[in-house]
Amino acid sequence: METKIKEFRAKFNLTQENLAKEVGVRRETIVFLEKGKYNPSLQLAYNIARVLKTDIHEIFIFDDEY
């Protein structure tokens, strides 16, 4: 899975730490999400999209190939 979290954070001038606090996770979780090394729960994905004022599908790109 790829994400556009970093790009959206830049639009809102948010650090990883700021975003982490807003959604209730540790900064490391945001780091792993941005690197595509962690798949978020639906609730976390929703919370991130809400803070970044966009839809989940705009931030998270799921690979259709399994």
Please give the average pLDDT of every successive group of 10 residues along the chain, which has 66 residues: 94 97 98 94 97 95 66
pLDDT at residue 64, as a whole number = 67
pTM of the model: 0.90
Phi and psi angles of residue 4, each rounded to the nearest 5 degrees, phi first = -115, 25
Q: What is the CA angle 23-41-59, rounded to 5?
A: 70
Please give the Cα distance from 33 to 49 (Å, whole number). Answer: 13
Domains of the chain in sequence order: 2-61 (1.10.260.40)
